[in-house]
Amino acid sequence: MSHSVRSLVLAIFATVFLHAPWLIRLMNPMFKPYLALGLPGGPNVLLTVRGRTSGRLRTVPVAFLGLGDRMFVQASYGDVNWARNIRVASEAILKKGRASETLTAVELTPEVAGPILRDALAPFQFSGLVRRVVGPVERPPVGVLRYFRLRVDDTLADYVAEARRHPMFELHRDPAGNQHF
């Protein structure tokens, strides 16, 4: 996807996320089948986790962050049900496009998650469109991080404080290739 198209998608998402977060929650039931078909959803993937009390599999769209060979999901709306479920289950099915795999999930401490958030934002490219949406900053943050009240030039302590409010999980492949679900 070209930089201008990514910027446009990010700007639209940032506008909705900043000004009407309820709309994202309202659209999740429609977005889930869209992602299930394997259609492109930007950084969004489907995460399936076993319910901590019911034992039933629950599937939700979440934002996926890949840094090198490391994979992360973060609870953008705080300690929500899927985060509580994955914390108990310690594994999830991640479906990105048409591919899916079972992964082990490990919750990161805020002290570990904060630097990851900062590092993920550091190389963000300039975009005039995103700058107009999220505000006049020297290097614009990803729109979602504006919701978290973070900027690329915030201190590490600011990122760690934000990670305390939004749990982050690192996902690992089973080296033996076993599928547990």
One-letter amino acid at 136 equals P
Residue 71, pLDDT > 70, answer: yes
Mean predicted confidence (pLDDT) in 45-56: 94
Contact of 145 with 79, CB cutoff 8 Å: no
- For the whole model, what pTM was predicted? 0.71
pLDDT greater at residue 76 or residue 126: 76
Q: How far apart are CA 154 and CA 83, in angstroms?
A: 26
Condensed to tens digits (0 to 9), the pLDDT of residues 104-157 reads: 999 999 999 999 988 877 655 455 555 555 555 443 334 445 445 555 567 889
Q: Is 56 helix (H, G, I), strand (E, B) or coil?
A: coil
Q: What is the mean pLDDT of the chain?
A: 75
Positive or negative torsion for Cα 96, 45, 41, 8: negative
How many of the other CB atoms lie within 10 Å of CB of 25? 11
